[in-house]
Structures are given as C-alpha cells and as structure tokens.
Structure 1
Amino acid sequence: MKSNLKIRCMFTAPEPQTGMAQGFTPVADWGWASTEDEVHEEIESVKKDLGKIEKQFNNEVKFEGWDIVRNEDEILSKSFEIQTSDIDAVLLFPCTTNISYMHAFLTLNKHLIVFNKEYLKPFYGGNLLGLHFDWDLNQSNRSRWVSIVTDSYDSLSRKIRAIRAISRLKRTKILCIGPLHQHIGGKTLRRGSYEAVRNAQEKLGLAIEFASLEEFKREIGKTEVSDEIKQVHKDFMEKAKEIDSSVKEKEALEAVKVYFAWKKMIERTNSNASTISCYQTKIIDEIDTTPCYALSKLNDEGIVTGCEADIDALVNLLIASYVADKPVYMGDPIFTEASNKMINAHCTCPLKLKGYNKENEPYVATTHYESGKGLAVQTIMEVGSEITVTMLSPDLSAIVITKGIITKSDMRYPACRVQVEFEVKNSSEFIHQCKIHIPFIGHMINVIGDYSREIAEACRILNIEPIVV
C-alpha cells in the first residue's frame, strides 16, 4: 500500500528579551542562533537534507510548513489548524532554548519528532532540554507521543518508516473470510480471537469486514478457468525451480482460480488486507484445493494477507510489511533451547521477500502439506540473509523482536513446505519473553533485513510494548 506521508516542519527562533530573568538581564540564549535570519539560513540547509530523505522514500514523504515560532502563544495560534489537518507528524528543530513552552507542542495532537543538533553543526539550544522532555513524559506513560533524534538523519529516516507504517495502518481495511482462529491466546470457542479483533479496532483503528466461507465458495464457483488463469498457472509452473510430484494440474488450476476469486472479493469490498479461515474449517475439502498460492500472490502484489484467520498474526504482518515496505513471511515457529537456532515453517510464502520491485526468490511448486492438495509456494530463502523476527501477543500489549541470520532453507522436513532455519544470538531470552507474552499458539513473522528498530518504534508509538532481544 502506498500513501503520501505529510510531515510539518517547525523551527524555534530567539525572541528579544526584556526586563529581568532569574535575577539578571539576559544577553544570550542557548544555541548558535541569535537572530531570526540565522534560523532562516538553517531552514534552507535543512531543506536540502530533508530533500535527500524524500528521494530515499521515492517522494512518498513530503516535508512542508517551515514554520518559525518564538513563544507559547505562536505555537497555540497554529494548534487548531495543525490538529485538524491531514499531516501525519510534526518535525521540530529546536534552534533555541524552549523549556518554557515545549509542552505546548503536545496540543498539536500529532506525533512529534524533535531533531536536535549537538555534534552536527550548528549547535541547537534545544540540547538543554534534549531527552529530558522524553523522560518527563515517560513519568506519565506518554513518551509514545514524542520521538527524539540527535544528529542523525539516518535515525530520522527510521522514525519516518515507523510513522509511515502507522499511517498505512490507519488506512487499512481487512477482509476476513470465515470465522476466526479458535485458539488465539489459548482460549477455545473463538473467544480469544474476537477479543483480538476488538483490540485491533480500538488500539490501531483497523476496519474489518467479514465474509462467510459460503460467499467465498460462491465466488469461486462463478469464476471460470479463463485463458488468463491458464496463463498465470503456466507461467508459475514454468518458472519453478522444481515441481513436486504431489501437484495435480486440476487442483493447481483451481488454486489459481481461488486467487482470482479472492482478489475480486477484496476489490469489491474496497479492502487492502485479508485473511481466511482455511485450516480449521472444511473449506479445503469443499473446494478441493487450497488458498496457499493465492496468499503468496496477494502478498507479492502488496495486499498483506495472512493464514488461518489469525488476527493478531495479521496485525504483526501489517506492521512488519508496512515498516519494511516489502512482503513478509508468516509461519509456525519451532523452538529449541539446546541451540541458538529456530525454524519457521508454513505452506505459503511470498516470492518478493527482498522488495516489491526485486526479483522473485527461487521456489518449488508443491502442495499444502497436511492435505496434499492444491498449489503451494515453497519459497527458498537465501542462506546468510539477515532477518528480523517478531511475535506479537494476542492482546496486542507486547511484541518480542530479535534479529537472526538464515542458516538453512529448503530442508524438506516432514512439516509445512516452506522451512527456514535461522540463528539468533540470544534465543534463550527470546524464548523466555515469548513464554511470558505469547501464552499459547502464536505465528512468527520474518522479514528480510534488519528492521528491529523501526518495528520497535512503530509499536512504541502504538502503545505496544517492544521487547527487543
């Protein structure tokens, strides 16, 4: 999903002092700027640096505003206009000391990024407050309102990735096909799953529309095996590294048809994310194929899609995919406390794991493991690649994050088809944190690359506690 992110830029400027302050007449303030002209010069310099970030995000991010404020009244005079605007965040450059009015920026009701320059010239007066502002808000559990950056435009880019992900979440509508996963949070009879839906609605503002499996079957029934479907099937099979002997042509064609039917339902409901109750229902026997291929294809097209109607796993997928701006992998984790290695396995995986505009990963055309039916995408991930690993608690209160290096793929153990083994530095601590926060069955998310800081920042802002191991 693409979205244009708008960030309002504001700068503090010195205000002429009169009278007495702290028992003396002030002649200087913290920071290099002694005149407003010097602040204007800094704005022009900052515009060039932020222009590089706009290019880095392919102009999906736009910096605007360039307001100069000198005191509390000037901030408050802009407050309502900014509150009711469509901007996503405010980026503050505190050129001068602003202790007396810093908290007034909170009235803007937008996420506030404070960019201080300490060793990166010129020296800002805002360094006097620095992280103390964050610490002060932390006392009332409000530090998620603010992000502090010092000297680093790379760090600023990571904060923007997090805010972009949140902006995309706010624009996400999920189509859930069928009843929800019955064991989320260790609660049977579907109770845990529907609590996860309410949590996602309240905490993240996600919109969720439900469609029945009967409606899904009717849509499949209305979809003819057209020349286009035959061509998509042919291309997929021809480009496969290998075709497993379990694949039956009729079931494989039906699996491609499922993709077309599912996509029609997504488009008809104006959704941009989806999940389906595939594993714990009779749908596989009833349609005589599986949705595994469709899941892979939809994710590669930027429609974040998850298995098994697992809402908290889908939220995890959305956060990771929106942060990284690429498809990510959802699987069933296998933990061992005897080594620092873990395995994540499932019967579907995107092919464009390195990016929507990148080449496909090599793959085997195979079937869903447990049923032996349909068409599944056995993606073979590149050994040596760095990955980010996340598991989200069912109540969306915490996310456990770590990094790993892929050590094996394509192992072909008697388990779900896509299998990736990776090594993490402190697996025992990761497992310990999962024991605390993931009380029962939980799906693991893997994303190629190190996005641990960006995912942690997005979750912090969303009031999901990031536990980085």
Structure 2
Amino acid sequence: MAESPRVLFVPVASKLHEPRGLQRSLALYKKSLEDLAAGAASIVTDPSGARALTRDVDAYIVAVLTGGVESTLLEIGMRGIPVALVAHPARNSLAAAVEAASRLRKDSFPARVFLLRDGVREDLIAFARAARAYRMLAGSRVLLIGDPSPWLVYSSTQAKELERVFGLELEKAGVDELLRVASAVPDSVIEELERELESVGATSVESRNLKGSLRLYVALREILERGSCNAATVRCFDLIERGCTLCLATSMLNDRGYAIGCEGDLPALLTMMVLMEVSGMPAFIGNVAWIEGTRLLLAHCTVPTKLVERFTLKTHFESGIGVAVQGFPRKGSRVTVARLDAARRTIRAGVGTVLNNGPIEEDLCRTQFLVELSSRVEIIVSNPAGNHYVLVLGDWLEPLEHFSEMVGFRFEALS
C-alpha cells in the first residue's frame, strides 16, 4: 500500500534569460512547492540536461521558468513519468507549458499544466498521488487464483485490455494449489493468529472453521510473497464447495496492504489497487445491493477491519458455512466509491457519507455500507459498468481524475 509519492522538482529555463531574473522566478516556486519533492534538480536549459534526470521517481514537478523551452519539456515528458508543468504569469512560461503539454498528450504521455497560484500545492499533491498509482500499476504482478466466477459475464471480458493498458503481469495458480499450501501451515502459526483475534473478541465462530480460514490467510500470503505479487483475486466460491471460505483471509490481507479481490473480478481488483495507492488505506469491495435516489447500498462478506468501527465473525451469507467478516461502519464517514471499466475506458467515482453503523438488511451479505452521494445514482443501473464497486475512507476524487487522464480513461462523476 501507498508510500509517499517520490517527486523531483525540476526548474527549466532558456539560456537566453538573464540569471537574476530566473532566480526571482525560481524563488516564487520554491516558496510554494519545493518541499513537496524528495529532491530538486539544477536548472535544466536543454534536452541533454533533461535526459540526465533520474527515472527513480513517481512524478516530475517542472517549474517552467521561461518560454522557448518546449523541446526540453518534451524530453522530460517523453521519459514516461507523469509530469506537472507549472507555469507562472511572466517570461512566456505558460505559452511554453501549453505547447509542450499539447504534444505530450497527443502522443499519450501523462502531462498536465498547472498555474502557480493559490491552491496549486493541493492540486499537485493530488497529481503526485495519482502518479504514484500510475507508476505502481505499470508492470505490477497480479495473482489470479482460478478463473473469474461464471456470473461475472461482463467483468470477465476485460483481462486482455487491462493487461495492455496497465502492463500487468498476470500470474495464475489454481484453487488446489492454495489448499495444498494451506494444509502445510504449522498449527503453532494458526494458534498465534487465533489468540490475536480472541484479544479483540471477534471469534464467535466454530474453531474448526476459524482455523481453516486462518490457514487460507497464511497460504495466500505465502503464494503472494513467493510470486512477488502485491494483489490477487480468487475464484472464492470454489472454496465454498470444499467447505471453507476466503472472507477472513481477504480482510486480513487487505488490512496488511495487499489488494485482494473477490470472485476473480479483475476490473474491481484494479480499482482497489488504484484507490489503495492514492489513499494509503485498505479498500472494501461490495456488491451493488440497491440504489434509491442518491443512496447506494454496497454489501459483501468481507471488509478490512481498519475501515470499520468494530467487527465480528459470522458464517458466510449465501452458504451459511465458514467464516465471514461483519463490519460495523463509522456512521458519518466521508468515503469514495469507484469502479474501473476497461471495456469503455471509464473510471466512475463519487464521494458520499456513510449513513449506517451496522447491518440494514438480514438478507444481504454480512458487511453493508449505505452511502449518501450528492446526486442521483441511477447511472449505476441505466448505464451499468459491472457489479462490484470499491469503497475507501476519504475524498479521493481529484487524484482519481488525474489518474484517469494519465491512463487515457474518461472520468465519470457519481457526485
């Protein structure tokens, strides 16, 4: 899960301008922006200087000190690292920034122009968070255990497009492999995990079922680490046929910074990865259970415990077996809800307020979030983008908008 974005501050200027004037302009940037970056480059005056910049960053914040630097800006942007071109109102700075950004965007490089004025600092923080997610996803190794569940008739069609857009490396394993690794977990490891759960009073399920769920947690973590994967989605209903559930393991791994999705839903898993990276917090994946006006009800049998006020363990909703996690939301919390749709190259997202602090409906999955958004949400059914939506605490719309732009997706606001 998210580290702080690594940003390099890069001042760029033409050789034609006299040094004292450049230093006055540079001072304006440093006052507002320099401490956002992990480091700062010397003033870059030509494309060769741009080629010498480190690539070991998530974003470049470029202070466009003068005009006449379009070729240098192109060289920076064509390195493939998201670039924020920050212009000021003198020395033809903005003219150079918009010309260079136009070419970079035409050629599908992630670039955006910002103006050096009040509020730019917060805008750049959002941009840097999006850049961190963009860089993290590129080449990520994602574990698929089993094929998507048969009812995901739309979401299951998007794997190739997601691989292409994000450069994912998809590693595949079977449910039998997960069970084999689980069977070899030492009893001593399971007993220690049981004691941790007992300490929070959450072990109101059969001991046999709890031990089985904890074995799956240890096994899935081992397979992830062995494959250097930071995310996984599992055809989890195949485990139910074997008498066990993955809901508790999913919760525990999400709490520990892994993105773990359900039912083999790859678009929802990618949504989780993006939201976890921009927010630095675990994410909840839920079924669209109901909509009414501006209200959206999401439900599932797992939730990261860090997202809720308290939790208890129950059996799985549909099957009545195994272990599920029933979370009690923090009523009044602000949350972001989102869904990535690779087929239509769209990210749909909104911000709302949680209205409940416990289950609303008995005939739904164990954890339920009722969210009040600021506008009507009929688009979820009138123009559906798949079932599972993802929720995190906080307002992350601005980073999601930047991320959408970076990957060439359309941003669609739910609020």
TM-score w.r.t. length of structure 2: 0.89
Corresponding residue number in structure 1 for 2:18: 35
Q: 2:338 & 2:410 partners in 1: Cα distance?
A: 12
Secondary structure, counterpart of 1:344 in structure 2: strand
Corresponding residue number in structure 1 for 2:111: 146
Structure 1 residue 236, shift from structure 2 partner: 1.4
The answer to whether the 8 Å contact 1:79/1:108 transfers is no
Corresponding residue number in structure 2 for 1:302: 257
Q: Which has the higher mean CA deviation after the structures are superposed, 3-12 or 447-456?
A: 3-12
Corresponding residue number in structure 1 for 2:83: 112
Corresponding residue number in structure 1 for 2:302: 348
Corresponding residue number in structure 2 for 1:157: 125
Q: 1:275 aligns with which of 208, 211, 233?
A: 233
Question: Residues 131 and 271 from structure 1, CA distance in 2 versus in 1: closer, same or farther, beyond 3 angstroms?
Answer: same
Aligned-residue identity in percent: 22
Q: 2:274 aligns with which of 319, 325, 328?
A: 319
Secondary structure, counterpart of 1:345 in structure 2: strand
Structure 1 residue 97, shift from structure 2 partner: 2.3
Question: Are 1:406 and 2:360 an aligned pair?
Answer: no
Q: 2:240 aligns with which of 284, 309, 312?
A: 284
Question: Are 1:68 and 2:24 an aligned pair?
Answer: no
The answer to whether the 8 Å contact 2:61/2:84 transfers is yes
Question: Are 1:211 and 2:179 an aligned pair?
Answer: no
Q: 1:316 & 1:11 partners in 2: Cα distance?
A: 34
Secondary structure, counterpart of 2:143 in structure 1: strand
The unaligned stretches of length 5 or more in structure 2 are none
Secondary structure, counterpart of 2:42 in structure 1: strand
Secondary structure, counterpart of 2:126 in structure 1: helix
Question: Residues 108 and 427 from structure 1, CA distance in 2 versus in 1: closer, same or farther, beyond 3 angstroms?
Answer: same
Letter in 2 for 1:175: L
Question: Residues 104 and 454 from structure 1, CA distance in 2 versus in 1: closer, same or farther, beyond 3 angstroms?
Answer: closer
Coordinate RMSD, CA, aligned: 2.7
Q: Deviations over 1:281-332 (max 9, x none)?
A: 2x2231x221111001001111111111111110111111111111011000
Structure 1 residue 116, shift from structure 2 partner: 2.1
The unaligned stretches of length 5 or more in structure 1 are 17-33, 55-61, 187-191, 354-359
Q: Deviations over 1:218-273 (max 9, x none)?
A: 111112322x3223223213314x665xx212111211121111111111222111
Corresponding residue number in structure 2 for 1:260: 218
Corresponding residue number in structure 2 for 1:189: none
Question: Are 1:97 and 2:67 an aligned pair?
Answer: yes
The answer to whether the 8 Å contact 1:252/1:289 transfers is no
Question: Residues 100 and 400 from structure 1, CA distance in 2 versus in 1: closer, same or farther, beyond 3 angstroms?
Answer: closer
Secondary structure, counterpart of 1:411 in structure 2: coil
Question: Are 1:229 and 2:185 an aligned pair?
Answer: no
Higher Rg: 1
Q: 1:14 & 1:393 partners in 2: Cα distance?
A: 43
The answer to whether the 8 Å contact 1:393/1:437 transfers is no
Q: 1:395 & 1:262 partners in 2: Cα distance?
A: 29
Structure 1 residue 275, shift from structure 2 partner: 1.4
Question: Are 1:465 and 2:410 an aligned pair?
Answer: yes
Corresponding residue number in structure 2 for 1:10: 10
Structure 1 residue 386, shift from structure 2 partner: 0.7
Structure 1 residue 101, shift from structure 2 partner: 4.3
The answer to whether the 8 Å contact 1:9/1:65 transfers is yes
Q: Deviations over 1:381-415 (max 9, x none)?
A: 11111111112225261111111111113125121
Q: 1:127 & 1:157 partners in 2: Cα distance?
A: 20
Question: Residues 444 and 2 from structure 1, CA distance in 2 versus in 1: closer, same or farther, beyond 3 angstroms?
Answer: closer
The answer to whether the 8 Å contact 1:312/1:396 transfers is no
